[in-house]
Structures are given as C-alpha cells and as structure tokens.
Amino acid sequence: MSEYDINIKRLLKESEKGNIKTEIWAEITNRNTCVTMNRRIWWEDGDGVFHDGTSELPVEFRDAVDNAWIEKSRKW
C-alpha cells in the first residue's frame, strides 16, 4: 500500500475568449506527514488544446497519478 493518497479533481473555468476550459488537478497527500501538494496535470488552453503536465511530477508519483486519473475519468 502506498504512503500517499491521490485525489483527482476536475475544474471547469472560463477562458479569456469566453469558452469553458478544463483543468485536471492531482492532490497528493503524504499519509505520514499529512503534507499535501496540488499539481495541475492536464489542462485545456483558450484555443481548446490539451496539455499534459504529468512529466513535471516527481518520478515516484507519475504512475500512481496516471492510474488515479484513469480511474476517476471513468466515473465522469
């Protein structure tokens, strides 16, 4: 079992052009220290292009965040 809890959240925001854009955030909490880090892992820019930010995550979180994102997206 991992020492981290990962919670994936989807935010809908309005762009400067008035379009609704999507952001996906990962909330990663260390169970031992209760320290939480929030990282934007996917986002849609004002032109409708999606960007992947998972490569900017520390290596030890990438697979766990990808798996949590896949599981959460199945429920949306």
pLDDT digits (tens, 9 = 90+) for 32-70: 999 999 999 999 887 788 999 988 998 988 889 999 988
pTM for this entry: 0.82
Q: Are 68 and 40 within 8 A, CB to CB? A: no
Distances in Å between the Cα of 28 and the Cα atoms of 15, 37, 47, 55 are: 26, 5, 29, 15
Look at residues 24, 17, 34 and name the one whose alpha carbon lies nearest to residue 72: 24
Q: Compute the average pLDDT of residues 2-6.
A: 89
